[in-house]
C-alpha cells in the first residue's frame, strides 16, 4: 500500500495526548510540518519541555486537563471534530510507577478506557486511533525477542498498566469496531526528554558537565533503544495505512532490533562525546524491572514495508546536540 505522506495530514484534525512528553512533542512538530490541525491535551504546564521551549505551543490548540476526565475528552473530540487520535499520554517512569501504582493505574489504565469510550461516543468522526503501548506490556519472557503474539503478562506496576492498555484497546476494537491499532516500541530516546533519571538524558547531561554518569542498575540490563523521530515516522505511517481496515485491531513492534546492555549504551554515548575518561558510577539499586527485553519487528517490515531511518549512533548524535543546545553547555570532540 502506498504511503499517503504529507497530503494525508493537510488540514486533518488530530488529537495528541501526552503532547508535552518526549514522543508527543516531536509528534506535534511533525504533524505541524505536515499542515495538520493539532489539538493537544495537556495536564501540566512544563515550561522547559520541548513543546514550550521550541514555541510549538503557540501553533496548536490546547485543551487543559487530564485523561481521567471523561467529559473533557468527549468535549475535545466533539468540538474540534477530531479525525485521528494519537494516544501518547501516560505516566511513563518505571520508578514512579513502583512508588505510586495508583496514580499510574489511573493515568494509564483509566485514562485509556476513558479516551476510547469518548472515541466511541464520537465514532462518526474518528477514523484512526493509534494507542502507544510499550515492550513492557509483554512482561518477562525467556523466549526473546518479543513478537506481537507473545502473551501480555506484565507483573510490575508500569508493565501491568501497559498490558492493560493493550487489552482495553483490543476490547474496544473487537466489541465496538473502533479503528484502533497499538504500537509497542523499545526504550525511546531523543532531545526533549527532561526525565534525567532516565539513562540516556542523564548520561548525556552528566558527560556535558564532565561528571561521571550514574547507573541505577548493575549495568547488565538489556534493552532495545529507539530514536524518537523513527517512532514518530512509524506512528504516522501506521495511521496512514489504517485507511486499510486490515490494520485495525493489530499491534506492531517498532525498534532497532539491536539490544544493548546499559553499560554498552553508556560506553557508546561517552565515546560519541569524547568523554571516555568518565567512569560510570554503578549503584546496583534497580528493582522491579525485567533484565532482558527486546523486539522482533518483522511484522512492521512485512505489513508496512517499514524500517528505521536512523542508526542508533545517528540518533544519539542528534540527541547529544539537542541537550548541548538546551543546556547551553558547548560540545567537545567527536559529536560536533
pLDDT above 70 (res 26): yes
Q: What is the DSSP string of 49-114?
A: SHHHHTTGGGGSEEEE--TT-HHHHHHHHHHTT--EEEE------HHHHHH-HHHHHIIIIIHHHH
Note the pLDDT tens digit of each residue in 164-194.
999 999 999 999 999 999 999 999 999 999 8
Determine contact, residues 178/172, Cβ cutoff 8 Å.
yes
What is the structure's pLDDT at 332?
A: 76
Q: How many CB atoms lie within 10 A of CB 63?
A: 20
- Model confidence at 285, pLDDT cuts 50, 70, 90, reads confident
CATH 3.40.50.720, domain 6-187+226-254, yes or no? yes
What is the structure's pLDDT at 4?
A: 57
Gap between the Cα atoms of 28 and 16, Å rounded: 7
pLDDT above 60 (res 118): yes
What is the structure's pLDDT at 140?
A: 93
Cα 299–Cα 133–Cα 206 angle in degrees, nearest 5: 105
Q: What is the DSSP string of 138-162?
A: GB--SS-SB-TTS--B--SHHHHHH
Note the pLDDT tens digit of each residue in 32-81.
999 999 999 999 988 888 999 899 999 999 999 999 999 999 999 999 99
Mean pLDDT of 251-259: 96
In Å, the largest CA–CA distance within the chain is 59
pLDDT above 60 (res 3): no
The residue with greater pLDDT, 247 or 2, is: 247
Which of 158, 172, 173, 235 does the annotation list as catalytic? 158
Gap between the Cα atoms of 313 and 273, Å rounded: 11
Q: Is 333 exposed, middle or buried (0-12, 13-18, 19+ CB in 10 A)?
A: exposed
Torsion of CA 293, 298, 299, 304, to 10 degrees: 120
Mean pLDDT of 294-307: 97
The answer to which of 5-14, 198-207, 264-273 has the lowest mean pLDDT is 5-14
pLDDT above 60 (res 334): no
Note the pLDDT tens digit of each residue in 76-95.
999 999 999 999 999 888 88
- Model confidence at 2, pLDDT cuts 50, 70, 90, reads very low
pLDDT above 60 (res 333): no
Mean pLDDT of 118-125: 98
The residue with greater pLDDT, 72 or 288, is: 72
What is the structure's pLDDT at 284?
A: 87
Q: What is the DSSP string of 204-265?
A: HHHHHTT-PPEESS-S--EE-EEEHHHHHHHHHHHHHHTTSGGGTT-EEEES-S--EEHHHH
User: Angle of helix 199-208 relative to helix 262-272, nearest 10 degrees?
Assistant: 40
158 an active-site residue?
yes
**Structural fold of domain 199-222+257-291+310-335:** UDP-galactose 4-epimerase; domain 1 (3.90.25)
Phi (first) and psi of residue 311, to 5 degrees: -75, 165
Domain ranges of the chain: 6-187+226-254, 199-222+257-291+310-335
Note the pLDDT tens digit of each residue in 198-211.
999 999 999 999 99
Q: Across all residues in the chain, what is the average pLDDT?
A: 94
**What is the pTM (predicted TM-score) of this model?**
0.94
pLDDT above 80 (res 281): yes
What is the structure's pLDDT at 1?
A: 35
Amino acid at each position: 500500500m502506498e504511503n499517503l505522506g504529507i497530503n494525508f495530514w493537510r488540514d486533518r484534525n488530530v488529537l495528541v495526548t501526552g503532547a508535552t512528553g518526549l514522543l508527543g512533542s516531536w509528534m506535534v512538530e511533525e504533524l505541524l510540518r505536515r499542515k495538520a490541525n493539532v489539538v493537544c491535551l495537556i495536564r501540566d504546564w512544563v515550561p522547559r519541555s520541548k513543546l514550550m521551549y521550541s514555541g510549538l505551543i503557540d501553533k496548536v490548540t490546547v485543551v487543559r486537563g487530564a485523561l481521567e476526565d471523561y467529559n473533557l475528552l468527549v468535549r475535545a473530540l466533539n468540538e474540534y471534530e477530531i479525525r485521528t487520535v494519537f494516544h501518547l499520554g501516560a505516566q511513563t517512569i518505571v520508578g514512579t510507577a513502583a512508588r505510586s501504582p495508583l496514580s499510574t493505574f489511573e493515568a494509564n489504565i483509566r485514562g485509556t478506557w476513558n479516551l476510547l469510550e469518548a472515541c466511541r461516543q464520537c465514532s462518526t468522526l474518528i477514523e484512526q486511533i493509534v494507542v502507544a503501548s510499550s515492550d513492557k506490556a509483554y512482561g518477562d519472557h525467556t523466549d526473546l525477542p518479543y513478537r506481537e503474539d507473545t502473551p501480555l503478562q506484565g507483573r510490575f506496576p508500569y508493565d501491568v498498566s501497559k498490558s492493560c492498555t493493550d487489552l482495553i484497546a483490543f476490547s474496544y476494537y473487537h466489541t465496538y469496531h473502533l479503528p484502533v491499532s497499538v504500537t509497542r516500541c523499545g526504550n525511546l530516546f531523543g532531545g526533549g526528554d527532561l526525565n534525567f533519571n532516565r539513562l540516556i538524558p542523564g548520561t548525556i547531561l552528566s558527560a556535558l558537565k564532565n561528571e561521571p554518569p550514574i547507573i541505577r542498575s548493575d549495568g547488565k540490563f538489556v534493552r532495545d533503544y529507539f530514536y524518537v523521530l523513527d517512532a514518530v515516522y512509524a506512528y504516522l505511517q501506521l495511521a496512514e495505512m489504517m485507511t486499510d481496515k486490515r490494520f485495525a485491531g493489530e499491534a506492531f513492534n517498532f525498534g532497532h532490533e539491536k539490544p544493548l546492555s546499559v553499560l554498552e549504551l553508556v560506553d557508546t554515548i561517552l565515546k560519541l562525546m569524547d568523554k571516555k575518561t568518565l567512569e560510570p558510577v554503578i549503584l546496583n539499586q534497580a528493582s522491579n524491572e525485567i533484565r532482558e527485553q527486546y523486539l522482533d519487528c518483522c511484522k512492521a517490515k512485512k505489513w508496512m514495508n517499514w524500517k528505521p531511518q536512523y542508526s542508533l549512533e545517528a540518533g544519539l548524535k542528534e540527541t547529544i546536540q539537542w541537550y548541548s543546545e538546551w543546556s547551553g553547555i558547548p560540545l567537545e570532540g567527536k559529536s560536533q
